[in-house]
């Protein structure tokens, strides 16, 4: 809505709204332009009060009375698009662009609006052409490039997304390296899918060259190396995740353990787990270690270890594990009570989301590198806390 108000402010300024305010400060008002009807400000007020329907009514009436006011058309078109009436928005903006009397600024603004209409309507080819034209004209460049990135992302045209991101970086001065790394990961995924492992590895390495903290690239590299039986390299890649973003640690515990098992060195895994639980407060590595202790030193030692850990990191999963273990040795009433407890902890865990987007709160059971809801990259992570990790 704010964006729309900015669109309308030039008219407000020219029509004396600001001039009148400046006058009260004792500054001379600029040369007056024909006053806009008070309807215009009523429309603005409706927008400010988040009443777009009433604003539309007012603007439609204005357009009927004075069809020359470009800004009113722009505002109206924008409102129609927001309301989902894309066809009407497109008609308004197309009519505007056809006017020979538009200033350069008005024309490029109308082009941008029409491009956004096309995007909203899913007409990506048309939107792309308009946005490229704007970039060529040097107008609204950052916004046009951002829209193009969104289009290429939706079309999964990762090569074009990368090139456009680079241009956007040049224009805004803001690094988009972490997003570019994700695009390379997408390319790696595709190469892997097409049976081109060499190409996949190359794309993963490129991802890491853009963002050396790209967890996804490290996990993919680990999988690639393990697949080609190079377990030592796979271990290196998986362990890197712990350095890059420790919150993703639960993702690599299992595959890492498997690699150590395959090279016959589970002792090293144990050392790693001992080291990592000092820095990581989630449950996954603690339970992995508990399993190892159980295999090596028996159930009693494992239960003692978990009980001790649960004091430091209370968690439903840990408790569930402990109850599971205790159930095997209990009988009679004690067993019945434990079963009730086990049922309860299982229900608490059941159906709970495991991952959550740190930007928009979207939660689910699968790990997405791009949030399905807000489309941010790298924002979905394992849920922490008593009922989570
Ligand atoms: Zn999100």
Partner residues linked to 356 by β-bridges: 363, 381
pLDDT of residue 72: 81
Fold of the 2-121 domain: 1.25.40
The whole-angstrom separation of Cα 242 and Cα 276 is 8
C-alpha 51 – ligand 1 centre gap (Å): 27
Question: Model-level pTM?
Answer: 0.80
C-alpha 146 – ligand 1 centre gap (Å): 18
pLDDT of residue 19: 40
Please indicate whether residue 139 or residue 348 has the higher confidence score (pLDDT). 139
Burial (Cβ within 10 Å: 0-12, 13-18, ≥19) of residue 65: exposed
The strand ranges marked E within the chain are: 355-357, 363-364, 380-382
DSSP 70-109: HHHHHHHHHHHHHTT-HHHHHHHHHHHHT-TT--HHHHHH
C-alpha 369 – ligand 1 centre gap (Å): 10
C-alpha 279 – ligand 1 centre gap (Å): 27
C-alpha 361 – ligand 1 centre gap (Å): 6
C-alpha 373 – ligand 1 centre gap (Å): 5
C-alpha 163 – ligand 1 centre gap (Å): 24
pLDDT of residue 363 exceeding 80, the answer is: yes
pLDDT tens per residue, range 169-210? 999 999 999 999 999 999 999 999 999 999 999 999 999 999
Cβ neighbour number for residue 115 with a 10 Å cutoff: 27
> For the chain, where do the domains classified as CATH 1.25.40.10 start and end?
2-121, 175-264
Q: Just give the CATH number of 175-264.
A: 1.25.40.10
> For the chain, where do the domains classified as CATH 2.20.28 start and end?
351-389
Length of the chain: 389
C-alpha 184 – ligand 1 centre gap (Å): 21
The whole-angstrom separation of Cα 69 and Cα 117 is 20
C-alpha 170 – ligand 1 centre gap (Å): 26
Q: CATH second-level architecture of 351-389?
A: Single Sheet (2.20)
C-alpha 48 – ligand 1 centre gap (Å): 27
C-alpha 126 – ligand 1 centre gap (Å): 28
């Amino acid at each position: 809505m704010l964006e729309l108000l900015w669109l309308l402010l030039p008219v407000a300024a020219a029509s004396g709204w600001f001039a009148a305010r400046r006058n009260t400060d004792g500054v001379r008002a600029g040369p007056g332009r024909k006053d806009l009807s008070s309807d215009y400000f009523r429309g603005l007020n409706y927008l400010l009060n988040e009443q777009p329907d009433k604003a539309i009514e007012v603007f439609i009436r204005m357009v009927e009375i004075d069809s020359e006011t470009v800004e009113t058309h722009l505002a109206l078109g924008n409102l129609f698009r927001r309301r989902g009436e894309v066809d009407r928005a497109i008609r308004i903006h197309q009519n505007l662009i056809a006017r020979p009397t538009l200033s350069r600024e008005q024309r490029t603004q109308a082009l941008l609006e029409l491009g956004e209409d096309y995007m909203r309507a899913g007409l990506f080819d048309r939107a792309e052409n308009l946005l490229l034209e704007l970039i060529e004209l040097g107008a609204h460049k950052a916004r046009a490039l951002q829209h193009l990135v969104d289009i290429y992302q939706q079309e999964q045209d990762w090569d074009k997304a990368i090139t456009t991101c680079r241009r956007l970086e040049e224009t805004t001065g803001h690094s988009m390296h972490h997003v570019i790394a994700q695009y390379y990961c997408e390319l790696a995924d595709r190469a892997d899918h097409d049976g081109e492992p060499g190409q996949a590895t190359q794309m993963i390495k490129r991802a890491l060259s853009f963002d050396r903290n790209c967890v996804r690239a490290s996990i993919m590299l680990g999988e690639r190396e393990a697949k080609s039986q190079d377990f030592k390299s796979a271990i290196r890649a998986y362990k890197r995740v712990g350095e890059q973003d420790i919150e993703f640690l639960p993702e690599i515990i299992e595959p890492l353990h498997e690699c150590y098992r395959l090279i016959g060195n589970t002792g090293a895994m144990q050392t790693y787990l001992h080291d990592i639980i000092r820095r990581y407060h989630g449950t996954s590595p603690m339970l992995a270690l508990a399993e190892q202790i159980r295999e090596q030193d028996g159930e009693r030692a494992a239960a003692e270890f978990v009980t001790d850990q649960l004091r430091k990191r209370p968690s439903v999963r840990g408790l569930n594990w402990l109850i599971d273990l205790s159930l095997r040795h209990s009988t009679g009433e004690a067993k019945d009570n434990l079963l009730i407890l086990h049922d309860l902890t299982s229900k608490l865990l059941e159906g709970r989301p495991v991952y959550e987007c740190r930007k928009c709160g979207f939660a689910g059971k699968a790990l997405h590198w791009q949030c399905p809801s807000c489309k941010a990259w790298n924002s979905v992570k394992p849920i922490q806390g008593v009922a989570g990790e």
